[in-house]
């Protein structure tokens, strides 16, 4: 996890523009560098480093003697860089996993490069010999990337939008800052003036397709067929492989643990694999919640079962409320459920940074979207519509859960790892018949739970624990976190303000005092940027007025039985 930033064709003094790059310093607390591009006085790279792999030669932009005309600034981890080296005979000059991007590009161009990378990444690659700039982002957008491109060819690129919004340019303030689409690469021509012109934007991977890099994966061809035992075995093999490849780190590994199915599976498999390779330290797991919240109690059971060094972060409503503004600033969104869920994750990340030496943090993001874990999937009209909804959620992850997970951890200089979004694992799961993936017997993620039933990785009551939204599980059953927030905000927003909300905020107008309150804070820091969120996250197939699972009928009946 790092912060990357680059400008091409700046009309303003670069030393002034570079101040914008300091807005993302939290992403790389270990070192930073600014470097001008030889021969282009108005182009430069900025890099904030979190040293996780190759602490000696890991500074960027990466340049190697073999390709003096290539400049690379990237954020991410490429898990198959050693397999690619073996397959193609690459001669690396550093231990940095990202160096493989230079060798792949030299061998087969940008399309093959992006398609062969097994990992999470966003990168800026400059080829001065052919006067090209390339931008690319991983399939699910686990690593963030934003860009701004003016009509006259000034390009700014950054890990977070906050590093671009104050850039100055002769024709205008840079207003069209937008997220770079996951699973895409862009080719731009670099003119002698340093300005650029976009040539093409290409989708290099669809998450339903088996990735090109599967050919050189450590797991060979899996048994085919959809009989249940084969499917369950393949799910276990691929998930374990997803966790194993993410063990690549020179810094201490930890794991977020809510006590729900997803984080518990990640923690259990992670600890098992760490023991197998004789990692010299115990796995630290981290749970957050208010006193006696469901998450704290469940996480305690899991930690005891797997034998992790468990940490509990207990917070009160006042601490959560006080964090709202800094959380929204970090997130760069005003989505209701994202803000709610981010507060707990932000506070636990703050604790990890201050009180421990864990830096590489595993988490369970992506499972709900992939395995149909949201309560409202019980109301899907058909397996086919449930499958379509699952794919829609995965496509939009970069706007919601993946955004939350990245920003809340990156705000405290931590690196996130999400094995449920492994390319091979997700493409296999999505290839299964739609009727296999739906909730069964009133239980969501039935297939995933079934797959691990005989593994003894988790206590039965955790393996079959019903879905609890992170923003709800951290509070007590009697009073949800969203109710606590709403009670506080009710006193902060006048009824008249809400009545006129649609006039003040015509795009995504707030319908509740809570959404109005978040929008006010967002507009304070990012005025006029409301289009970064195309729509609010809301359940489907139910007449929901609030995104919390606790407002849904299915949840109420389950907790009252």
The verdict on 26 and 160 lying in the same domain is yes
- Helix, strand, coil content of the chain in percent (nearest 5): 45, 20, 40
Average pLDDT of the segment spanning 380-405: 98
The verdict on 360 and 489 lying in the same domain is yes
Question: Would 559 be classed as within a structural domain?
Answer: no
Q: Residue 107's pLDDT is what? A: 97
Average pLDDT of the segment spanning 335-349: 96
Residue 288 marked in a binding site: yes
Average pLDDT of the segment spanning 113-141: 97
Contact predicate 289/296, CB 8 Å = yes
The verdict on 187 and 227 lying in the same domain is no
Q: Integer distance in angstroms from the first to the last C-alpha of the chain?
A: 44
Look at residues 174, 203, 232 and tell me which one is the last residue of a structural domain.
203
Look at residues 158, 174, 203 and tell me which one is the last residue of a structural domain.
203
Task: State the CATH number of the domain containing residue 95.
Answer: 3.60.20.10
Helix 423-431 to helix 383-395 angle, to the nearest 10 degrees?
160
Q: Average pLDDT, whole number, for the chain? A: 91
Contact predicate 339/518, CB 8 Å = yes
Can you name the residues that pair with 67 across neighbouring β-strands? 64
Task: Express each pLDDT in 133-153 by its tens digit.
Answer: 999 999 999 999 999 999 999
Q: What is the number of domains present in the chain?
A: 2
Question: Would 117 be classed as within a structural domain?
Answer: yes
Q: Residue 2's pLDDT is what? A: 86
Question: Would 131 be classed as within a structural domain?
Answer: yes
Question: Would 560 be classed as within a structural domain?
Answer: no
Task: Express each pLDDT in 174-188 by its tens digit.
Answer: 568 999 999 999 999
Residue 2 is a catalytic residue: yes
- Residue 58 in this model has a pLDDT that exceeds 70: no
Q: Residue 46's pLDDT is what? A: 87
The verdict on 244 and 159 lying in the same domain is no
Can you name the residues that pair with 284 across neighbouring β-strands? 254, 309
The verdict on 32 and 160 lying in the same domain is yes
The verdict on 278 and 192 lying in the same domain is no
The verdict on 33 and 167 lying in the same domain is yes
Can you name the residues that pair with 146 across neighbouring β-strands? 158, 179
- Domain span including residue 222: 218-551
The verdict on 262 and 175 lying in the same domain is no
Q: Residue 220's pLDDT is what? A: 74
Query: Residue 276 class from Cβ within 10 Å (0-12 exposed, 13-18 middle, 19+ buried)?
Result: exposed
Look at residues 203, 235, 264 and tell me which one is the last residue of a structural domain.
203
Q: Residue 173's pLDDT is what? A: 52
- Other CB atoms within a 10 A radius of the CB of residue 237 amount to 17
Question: Would 391 be classed as within a structural domain?
Answer: yes
Q: Residue 559's pLDDT is what? A: 42
Average pLDDT of the segment spanning 530-538: 96
- Residue 466 in this model has a pLDDT that exceeds 90: no
The verdict on 278 and 309 lying in the same domain is yes
How does residue 465 score in pLDDT terms, banded at 50, 70 and 90? confident
Residue that wins the pLDDT comparison between 173 and 179: 179
Task: Express each pLDDT in 350-382 by its tens digit.
Answer: 999 999 999 999 999 999 999 999 999 999 999
Phi, psi of 499 (to 5 degrees): -60, -35
Task: State the CATH number of the domain containing residue 236.
Answer: 3.40.50.620
- pLDDT above 70 covers a percentage of the chain that reads 93
**Could you give the CA distance from residue 90 to residue 415 in angstroms, rounded to a whole number?**
27
- Residue 432 in this model has a pLDDT that exceeds 60: yes
The verdict on 194 and 238 lying in the same domain is no
Question: Would 209 be classed as within a structural domain?
Answer: no
Question: Would 459 be classed as within a structural domain?
Answer: yes
Residue 256 marked in a binding site: yes
- Residue 103 in this model has a pLDDT that exceeds 80: yes
Average pLDDT of the segment spanning 453-457: 93
- pLDDT above 90 covers a percentage of the chain that reads 75
The verdict on 92 and 118 lying in the same domain is yes
Average pLDDT of the segment spanning 147-170: 92
* Catalytic residue selected from 2, 158, 174, 255: 2
Strand 119-127, strand 67-78: pairing: antiparallel
Residue 364 marked in a binding site: yes
Question: Would 557 be classed as within a structural domain?
Answer: no
Task: Express each pLDDT in 282-321 by its tens digit.
Answer: 999 999 998 888 889 999 999 999 999 999 999 999 999 9
Average pLDDT of the segment spanning 242-256: 95
The verdict on 154 and 246 lying in the same domain is no
């Amino acid at each position: 996890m790092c912060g990357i930033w680059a400008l091409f064709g700046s009309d303003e003094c670069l030393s002034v523009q570079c101040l914008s790059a300091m807005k993302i310093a939290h992403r790389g607390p270990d070192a930073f560098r600014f470097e001008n591009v030889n021969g282009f006085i108005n182009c430069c790279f900025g890099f904030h480093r979190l040293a996780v792999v190759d602490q000696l030669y890991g500074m960027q932009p990466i340049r190697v003697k073999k390709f003096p005309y290539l400049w690379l600034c990237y954020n991410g981890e490429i898990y198959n860089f050693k397999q690619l080296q073996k397959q193609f005979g690459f001669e690396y000059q550093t231990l940095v996993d990202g160096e493989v991007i230079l060798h792949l590009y030299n061998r087969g161009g940008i399309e093959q490069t992006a398609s062969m990378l097994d990992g999470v990444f966003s990168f800026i690659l400059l080829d001065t010999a052919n006067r090209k700039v390339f931008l690319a982002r991983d399939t699910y957008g686990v690593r963030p990337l934003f860009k701004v491109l003016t009509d006259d060819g000034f390009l700014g690129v950054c890990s977070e939008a906050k590093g671009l919004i104050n850039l100055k340019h002769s024709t205008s303030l840079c207003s069209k800052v937008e997220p770079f689409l996951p699973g895409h690469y862009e080719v731009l021509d670099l003119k002698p003036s340093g300005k650029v012109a976009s040539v093409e934007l290409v989708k290099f991977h669809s998450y339903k397709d088996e990735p090109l890099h599967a050919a050189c994966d450590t797991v060979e061809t899996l048994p085919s067929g959809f009989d249940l035992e084969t499917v369950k075995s393949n799910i276990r093999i691929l998930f374990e492989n997803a966790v194993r490849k993410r063990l690549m780190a020179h810094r201490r590994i930890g794991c977020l643990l809510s006590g729900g199915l997803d984080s518990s599976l990640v923690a259990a498999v992670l600890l098992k694999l760490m023991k197998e390779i004789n990692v010299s330290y115990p796995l630290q797991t981290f749970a957050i919640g208010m006193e006696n919240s469901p998450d704290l109690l469940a996480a305690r059971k899991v930690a005891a079962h797997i034998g992790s060094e468990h940490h509990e972060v207990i917070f009160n409503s006042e601490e959560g409320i006080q964090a709202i503004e800094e959380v929204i600033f970090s997130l760069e969104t005003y989505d209701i459920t994202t803000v709610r869920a981010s507060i707990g994750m932000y506070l636990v990340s703050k604790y990890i940074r201050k009180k421990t030496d864990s830096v590489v943090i595993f988490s369970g993001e992506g499972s709900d979207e992939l395995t149909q874990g949201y309560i409202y999937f019980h109301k899907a009209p058909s397996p086919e519509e449930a499958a379509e909804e699952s794919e829609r959620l995965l496509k939009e992850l970069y706007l919601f859960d993946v955004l939350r997970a990245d920003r809340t951890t990156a705000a405290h200089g931590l690196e996130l790892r999400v094995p449920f979004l492994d390319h091979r694992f997700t493409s296999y799961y999505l290839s299964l018949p739609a009727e296999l993936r739906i909730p069964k017997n009133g239980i969501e993620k039935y297939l995933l739970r079934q797959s691990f039933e005989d593994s003894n990785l988790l206590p039965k009551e955790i393996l079959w624990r019903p879905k609890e939204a992170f923003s709800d599980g951290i509070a007590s059953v009697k009073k949800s976190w969203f109710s606590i927030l709403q009670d506080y905000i009710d006193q902060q927003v006048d009824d008249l303000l809400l009545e006129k909300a649609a006039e003040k905020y015509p795009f995504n107008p707030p319908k509740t005092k809570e959404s109005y309150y978040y929008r006010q804070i967002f507009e304070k820091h990012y005025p006029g940027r409301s289009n970064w969120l195309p729509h609010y996250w809301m359940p489907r197939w139910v007449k929901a007025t609030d995104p919390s699972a606790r407002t849904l009928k299915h949840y109420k009946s389950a907790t009252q039985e």
